[in-house]
Structure formats: C-alpha cells, structure tokens
A and B are shown apart, each in its own frame.
Chain A
Amino acid sequence: MDGVQRQMTNLARQASPGNQTSPVISLEGTELADLSSESVIISDPHGVIQYWNAASEVLYGWPALAMIGRHLGEIGSRERAGIDYIDALLREGRWDGIVFRRSVTGAEVVAVVRQVVRRDAAGVVRDIVEFGRDATPLTETEYLRMDAELQGSLAASWELDTSAARPMLDAIAENGRNGAPVDLNLRPDWVDGLLTATRILAVNDRAVRMFGAHAGHEQMIGQPIGTFWPAESRIVLAELIEQVASGRSQLETRRMVLSGAIRNPIVRVWHSAGPKPPGTLLVTINGAVSDYRTSWELQASEERYRRLIQNLPTALWQVDSRRAGEAFDALKARGVRDIASYLSRTPDLVEHAKDIVRVTDVNRDAMSLFRAQNPAELIKPVRYLFAAAPGLAERVMVAHFEGRRNLIEETRIRAFDGSIIDVLFTVTYPVPPEQLDNTFITIQDISERLNAERQLRKLQADFSHAGRIATLGELATSIAHEINQPLAAIVTNGETSLRWLARTDQNIEKVTQLTSRIVTNARRASEIIHRIRSMAAKHEPEKRLLDINEIAREALLFIRHDIDSKSITLSTTFAPGLPQVLGDRIQLQQVIINLLVNSVQAIVQSGQPTRRIDIQTSVDDGGAVGFSVFDNGPGIAATDLAHVFDSFFSTKDAGIGIGLAICQSIIGAHGGSISGANRPNGGAHFHFALPVPA
C-alpha cells in the first residue's frame, strides 16, 4: 500500500470510526443503531428513508417520524444532499464524502458521511446505510479537502512532487505579475515542461490500472507524470498543478476529458497537508467506470482472476485494443467496409496500431515463452508479438474490425533471445458488456507438437520406403524383364548394324534406322532405371498435381511382366478427363503397385484357371478421384475383412503384412480413404479415393 492510499484510508476511518466493515443492521433490529452517537440513516435504493436514528435527530433536528418515507434529497441545501453518487455507490459498495443538508431550523448542516450498500444473498441491492458526523464547524476549505481525500480512497490517486517544476512555476508567476500571463492552452511546450518536471511519488492500484501505466507501481514511481497522463487532458492537469502549486488555490476541481474507462471524470488537485515536503500535490480522478460491474464483485473476482491468470498453464496476454477500436469506429463512420483491402492500401495504419495497442498484463507462462526476465519486458506496445509473423497483425485487425469473437492461427514468434518458436496464436476480442479494454491473446508453444508431426511424417516416409524396397524385391524379376527388353533390342540392333557394315552391299539407310533404334531403346532403358531409382530412393513426400491415370500407367511398368508371366489377363479402364489430385507420385504408385501385387498373389494362390485383374479410374459420387482394383481371386475371408489394413496382418505365408497398412497410411496422409471388399461373384475389390483440391 502506498502513502496516499494509507493516508486516505486513515482519513476515512476518522470520518466513520469503527465502520471499516459494514455493520450488520436490519430495520427490525436497529436497537444498537439507536444508541449510536453517529447519525445512521437507512434508505431504499431510491433514497426513500426507512430508518432514522436518534443521533440523526440530534444532527439534523428532524424527528424520525417526520423523515421516514421522505426522500433524502428533500432536506438538501446544495447540490449534494442524498445519494447523489448512486453510480459510484453501487459500483464501489460505498461512498465517502461531504453532504449538505438543512436542519429543521433551516440552518445548513455539513456532514461527513459514509454510505454503504447492502445486498441480499443474490446480490440485489437491499438498502443504503448512511453514517454521518457533523462537519459544520470546519471551514469550507477544510471540509472540501476532507471530501476530496475521502473520495480519493475510491479514486485513482497520485502523489506528485513538483519541486523540480519550481523554476517553471516561478517563471509562470513572474509572467503573470508582469501582465503577460502564460496561457497553457497555447503553450504545449510549457505543458510538457511542467508535466515532465513533475514526478510521481506514489500511485494507488486504481491509478495503475486506469492509467495504464501498463507497468506496475515500480515502473511508475519517480517517472514524470507526463509519461502516463492521458494526452487529451494534459493541459487540464498542467493548469491545475500550476494553480495549486503556485499557492493560488488550495483545492482545484475540474471535469476532464478522458477516453476510455471512465465517464465524466472529475480531477481534483490539492496541497498535501502535514508532514509532506512542500511542493507535494495530491491528485485524484473520480468517475463512473464505463461498465456497471460493482466494485465489490470486481475486487473479489479480480483477485481470483489475477491468480487464475498468473497460474494458467498457457501464455496469456491482456491487451488494451480500445485505441484500435476507436480508429475502427472512425473508419466505419467514414463508410469503410472492406477493411482488408483498406489496410493493404494503408499499411501505415497496421504499423501505427502495433504501437498504440498495448499489452496491459501478462502471466508467468508468457514471460517464459518469450524468455523474459520480468513482466515489464512484455508490458508495452504489441509490436513484439508480431515480429516473426508476417501479415498476422493485419489479420488480427481485420478480425477485430469485422467484430469476430476469435482469431486462431498457427504462426511463429520471435522470443527475446532471438529464437523463433512455432505457436498457436489465439485472439479473443471483447464483446459488450465485457470490459472493452480486455482483448486476450494466448500463445501456445506448438513446436513440440510440430516436431512430433515432422517425426511422424518422417517415420511414415521411412515406413513406406521400407515397403517400397520390399515390393521392389518381390518384383525384381518383373523389373529386370522391363529393363532387359530394351537392352536386348539394343544388343541385337547393334549386332545387326555391324553385320550390315561388314557386308559389301552396305545399307546405310538400314544402319541409320538401326542406330536410331539403339538410341531410342537406350533412352527407354534409362527411363525405366530412373523410375526404379525413384521408387527405391528415400525421399520426402512431395505433393504435386497429378493425373491418376498416368500414375497407374507408370505403376504398371513395375508389375506388368509379373502379371503377364502369371498368365493373368489385365484390363484397364481409364476414365478420360479426370481432375488432378494433389499427391506424391512415388507414394501413390506404391499404393497401386501394392494393391496389384496383392491381387496377383491372391489369384495365384487360388489356382483359378482364368485369371483376371481389372483396374479402373473414376470420379466418385463425392467428386473425389477413385482408383479400383478388381480381381477374381478367392476374395477376403469374412473374419479378415476388418483387419486387412492392420499392420503385420497377412494371409500369405511369406508376407509380413505391411503392404496394405502402408497403403492406408499413404492414402490417409493424402486426405483420402481406402477400402477393401468382396465382389458379389467372387474376388476382391480394393478402392481408394483422393480428394480433388478446390
């Protein structure tokens, strides 16, 4: 607790001794209050008097009988007579200050009162209890100061040291004496000078919260008041300081302009009494907070809330984006609707927003995520949040402008040690009646998850690679045949050429033809080897737009000979004009090859005399591109249907059972689906479908 607050609390105690906590009084049981030497008045929430004790009769002269049922305001003498600060009262749960009333004789009674709101269990206002003491003997200055100090405990309070501003104050006074008074409205340099020279000695929590100091007490003490004072009322404060510090006034009260949390704020500046060094000023700002949550709820819940936030296992930022909100309102008023294109035309606005929108609070996890030593490093304009996330600030603004509730994005941050971290960035915008200064940002470190995903992808790639190698092994004969064909042709063509050249009737034309065939076949062999090498190579899956018909034709290269040599009749029905799919060429070929290998092996095992495999491509009902393999083998045993895609499930003696598991994992990684079923007239049908990119 800082000096100002302590002092003010003490004053409040003096004003209503023994009532630091609300006494429990009910209308039925007011005997104790009857004995009180302090005036006790109970009124309903509208100010209609319900109870009036003996001390009230003494203080105001009015008997209880005359007052019960009347309105407190009816005995007022000046502006403040009853429950004039009902907003503040309901908000804070109590109000302390000076009221002016008329006694039964017509004389003015100045009373120091504390008004307390009592609520029922449901939080509904039951009544208002007022404790009062006579302040009539005090001079006007004295009671005004007392009033200010009483209300100071409910206000944002500052204790300022103007000693360093003394030369300026003297200069202003000198100018005034010389008939050339300084008009601070015209001299922003003087305003800046005064507010820079005036240093903060103490602030209360409310001032810290309201003025955003965004930095906490420690960062405010010793700083110029100008650093924290809202720009729109700097002149007001400078004038007040000048008037009070120069001794021309004991207490100055002024309405001020203040954007944001407070409506109709009133600022008071006065000389500190007592042992404080000269030049010490007290400043309070009172006013109704823009939202109607009452203080007692607020205080209790705020404590819980801060603890909760501090200990949340997610890095959390509380951001005051009202300045951006105001800018948006202005844009909307000017008819801007498409904010995204507006921002792209005026990138300066985004940059500006990064500076005016400030972080107001962070929790522990936020500190450790950004590798910060203390919260103050994070409590500043939001710019640092976007250092490694191009375009994010713009998208955050668009979402805010469009009144969305959330924005969630995977992006990156740059921590203060320079490391770049993959994160999930979530913004939750306030929606009335929530406090509009509370935009929440949570940032979740997902680098471990992404890392795990990367490892999983690598594992999947390794797994499918192992599967490819195994399949290539099984298809070695078929593949050797494919390479051997062009090689055989080359050798024969070469030998034929040599024979032509050795003959007396050399046939150059024929030799030319043979040589070009050699070239063609050599190319063909080389192409086949290239395909095999791709199939055998370990590679990071690479998604491209592919034609599934082409993939299927290429896949057949590896297995055609195997199919032929086992006297299986292969028919292909390639649907024309299929849309392209996004996928990895090698992996999709691998799936097709695996499905065909399975069919071939099933057919061979079955000993079927006529052996058939049909492959088909198609567009499925949902628009996906489909690939089917039909065989007339033995089909899938009913008990195996559910397990065919399990790893290490195999019905083959020598099978290790990863072929279909790999197919499923590859098709899954492509966002597609794969299924196996029995055909009505025998044999199996395997089908996979791949989504067509939008």
Chain B
Amino acid sequence: MPAKDICLPKTPLVAIVDDDEAVREALSDLLLVLDVACRTFERAETFMAEFAPDRFDCLITDVSMPGRSGLELQERLRELGSSMPVIFITADTDPATRVRALKGGAYACLTKPVNDEVLFHLLQNAMDHAGRSRRNDGRGPTSDD
C-alpha cells in the first residue's frame, strides 16, 4: 500500500475503485512505479465512506460493480459538489456507457486494457487540472485565467 495520505498538497493522491482485485492490484502497482500515490477500494460504498472533499486528487473507477456503479458514484460526487476528475476504466465497449460517463462530467473513459502511457498522461493532466482548480478554490472564489 502506498504511504498514508497526510494531505500534503504537493503529494497528489489517486483513488482507485474496482471490484476486481487483480485489476485493483495491477493499477495500484502501476501508479507506484509512476510515483503516484493511491488508495484502492473494492466498492463505491467503501470509497464514499472515506471520501472527503480535497482528499483525493483523482478517481479511477470501473463502471459496473456490485452495489453502486461507477456512473452512480460520479453522479453522487457531483451532487456533493466535488469537481474531482474521474477517469473510467471499463471493459464495456458500449458507446452509451461512454456517453453517459462523459456527460456526467468524466475526465476520460478508457477501455480495458489501458495503455500505461495514456493513463499516465491523463493522470498528470487530470491532477494538474485538479491542482489548478484546488488552488483556485484555495484562493477564494473565481479568478479568471
């Protein structure tokens, strides 16, 4: 497991939610070698139990899982006002799922198996984006550019 999050703004933290243990382990190891800290969750519900605004810089989640699905999780986060970037990784090739994800505000929707370069790139961008908006948040309401 990656080091415990001690909420230093410079150390971005990624949450991974996937019901498949093998996929979860593989992703967390990938992030480890990419020097990205992460926490893994088996279900949307367990993630939500630990969720707090600004705690995670990015969420990587599967779409379909027992219990609350990835899409529902994203909807819930948006309801809570979170703008945390969400990257879906799914085996589902149905375009409808993809559309629903992106419409729901997903940062990206990747098809399994993912290309590590692509994921890394997306993660960096997402966290930059998240960092910016968080900085913005930190500075107070809106600031153009």
Contacts and interface: CB of A to CB of B under 8 A. Distances in A.
B112 A485 contact: yes
A553 interface: no
A488 B116 contact: no
Interface residues of A, number: 30
Residue of A499, A503, A520, A570 with highest tally of chain B CB at under 10 A: A499
A490 interface: yes
B33 A496 contact: yes
A565 B92 contact: yes
A492 interface: yes
A464 B128 CA distance: 56
B112 A510 contact: no
Contacts of A567: 68-69, 72
B91 interface: yes
A481 B116 contact: no
Given A499-B33, A510-B29, A570-B66, A477 B116 contact: no
Nearest to B29: A496
A521 B63 CA distance: 21
Interface residues of B: mostly helix, strand, loop or mixed? loop
Contacts of B27: 492
Contact of A500 (B33, B68, B93, B114): B33
B64 A524 contact: no
Given A499-B34, A517-B26, A564 B66 contact: yes
Contacts of B116: 492, 495-496, 499
B57 interface: no
A593 interface: no
What secondary structure prevails in chain A residues at the interface with B?
A: helix
B65 interface: yes
B22 interface: yes
Contact of A489 (B25, B63, B65): B25
A487 interface: yes
A245 interface: no
Contacts of A564: 19, 64-66, 69
A280 to B, nearest CB: 104
Nearest to A562: B64
Interface in A196-255: none
Contacts of A496: 26, 29-30, 32-33, 116
Contacts of A545: none
A493 B29 contact: yes
Interface in A488-538: 488-493, 495-496, 499-500, 503, 510, 514, 517, 520-521, 524
A192 to B, nearest CB: 91
A674 B63 CA distance: 36
A102 B67 CA distance: 120
Contacts of A517: 22, 25-26
A491 B30 CA distance: 10
A484 B69 CA distance: 18
Interface in B62-100: 63-69, 72, 89, 91-94
A488 B69 contact: no
Contact of B113 (A481, A492, A520, A561): A492
Contacts of B72: 567
A485 B22 contact: yes
B22 A565 contact: no
A132 interface: no
A492 B114 contact: yes
Top 5 A-B pairs, shortest CB-CB distance: A491-B113, A484-B91, A565-B64, A488-B112, A492-B26
Given A488-B23, A488-B114, 19 more contacts: A481-B92, A484-B91, A484-B113, A485-B23, A487-B113, A488-B89, A489-B20, A489-B25, A492-B30, A492-B113, A492-B116, A499-B116, A503-B33, A510-B33, A524-B22, A564-B19, A564-B65, A565-B69, A567-B69
Interface of A: 477, 480-481, 484-493, 495-496, 499-500, 503, 510, 514, 517, 520-521, 524, 561, 564-565, 567, 569-570
